[in-house]
Amino acid sequence: QCHRFCAAVAWEPNVPMVIEEIEVAPPQKNEIRIKVIATGVCHSDLYHLFEGKHKDGFPAVLGHEGAGVVESVGPGVTEFKPGDKVIPLFVSQCKECRFCKSPKTNLCEKSWSTERYAQMSNTDTRFSCRGKPVLQFMGTSTFSEYTVLNQIAVAKIHDDAPLNRVCLLGCGISTGYGAAINTAKVEPGSVCAVFGMGAVGLAAVMGCKNAGASRIIAVDINEQKFEKAKVFGATDFVNPKAHKKPINEVLTDMTNGGVDYSLECVGNVAVMRSALESCVKGWGVSVLVGWTDLHDFSARPIQLIAGKTWKGSLFGGFKGKDSIPKLVLDYMAGRIKLEEFVTHTVSLEQINDAIQLMKTGGCIRTIVNVSK
């Protein structure tokens, strides 16, 4: 039967979320109901509420960077049982479609995102509140005590994993880390620049370091972020506002013609162009990591004709079911950092404070303890 649980409902764009009692339907065929223990707050949550503002994307329960425990399973679910620790995946992995079968991508044809990028959710939902359906943001909705997902959008993880840390692998950290490792394919000894020192950018710095980069230049207009960047392996720091020249010229001068790899982790089309122009001609690779769907980007054709490559990366190129359990083990073995991203911890009731912290750049990652 339906149960009533607490969730943060975004009734409309540009308005604070409201803690409501919502009905969460039981899992249907091939579905799992998950008790959400902890979730991070990611910039995509902010983007939907304050920037994308698509009228058909509301009301919704936001949140997509969570971890929890399986509460119950619907008919046809064989991979999961109650009590399993899991991470919801906003990029599913059905293992059957042509994308899942290709080693070239982590996209999945059965994902919510195949048609509804603008609304950032499917029309189908297991949530309702005050008699109205409430959308499941990015197919996940982790700002709720319970959520229901298809089994293709859930990764089973190690029983000993601390959920209030590995939840970060549900989006931001995997996104930045994988963009460096999988999409850019950073090589040992190379020179990298990462634009934007939020959690995704810091994770990209960590990826560049783990891949053996010799120099990693952190670019941000907030110099308070540079100490944090050092922790993850950044070697140089540049504030574009401290220079009279465009940032691409500053980086070109610093690196004898440009960096080997640049990663844009802001979600700003002007910065994307700067990141491309900061790459060395001949073989430079620039990766778009920051999420935005509001503006076109542009560049001069010579940038690409002269041998640069411009690529995009969604969820770090990781196939969720296959890769997230391994990343959890990497964290538990000390191969990747998570602890260092966490600057604040709040309860679900304080969700609007967490959003405000991120809006003002006052945090790296805020962990929300959703359920006991």
304 phi and psi angles, rounded to 5 deg: -90, -35
Catalytic annotation, pick one of 3, 6, 43, 48 = 48
Residue 171 annotated in active site: yes
Catalytic annotation, pick one of 108, 129, 171, 265 = 171
Residue 43 annotated in active site: no
Residue 121 annotated in active site: no
C-alpha distances in Å from residue 319, one per residue of 52, 106, 125, 171 = 26, 5, 24, 12
| Residue at token pair 């008919």 | 75
**Which sign does the torsion angle of CA 77, 164, 90, 46 carry?**
positive
Catalytic annotation, pick one of 44, 92, 190, 286 = 44
Count CA atoms closer than 13 A to 3's CA, side-chain side: 15
Catalytic annotation, pick one of 2, 54, 64, 274 = 64
Helix ranges, the chain (H): 43-46, 98-101, 163-166, 172-178, 199-210, 226-232, 247-254, 269-277, 301-305, 320-332, 351-359
Residue 64 annotated in active site: yes
Q: Per this entry, what is the length of the chain?
A: 372
| Residue at token pair 């039981």 | 26
b/e sequence 173-212, b meaning 16+ C-beta within 10 Å: bbbbbbbbbbbbebeeebbbbbbbbbbbbbbbbbbbbbbe
Catalytic annotation, pick one of 42, 129, 192, 208 = 42
**Among all residues, which ones are annotated catalytic?**
42, 44, 48, 64, 171
